[in-house]
Amino acid sequence: MSKFIIQVNGPAYGTSASVNALRFTQASLQSGHEIVCVFFYQDGVYNSTDFNLPASDEYDVVKGWKQLAAEHQVSLVNCVSAALRRGIVSQQEATENGLSHWNVEHSFIMGGLGELVTGIESADRLICF
Residues serving a catalytic function are: 79
Query: Cα dihedral angle (88, 91, 96, 97), rounded to 10 degrees?
Result: 40
Do 2 and 121 form a contact (C-beta atoms < 8 A)?
no
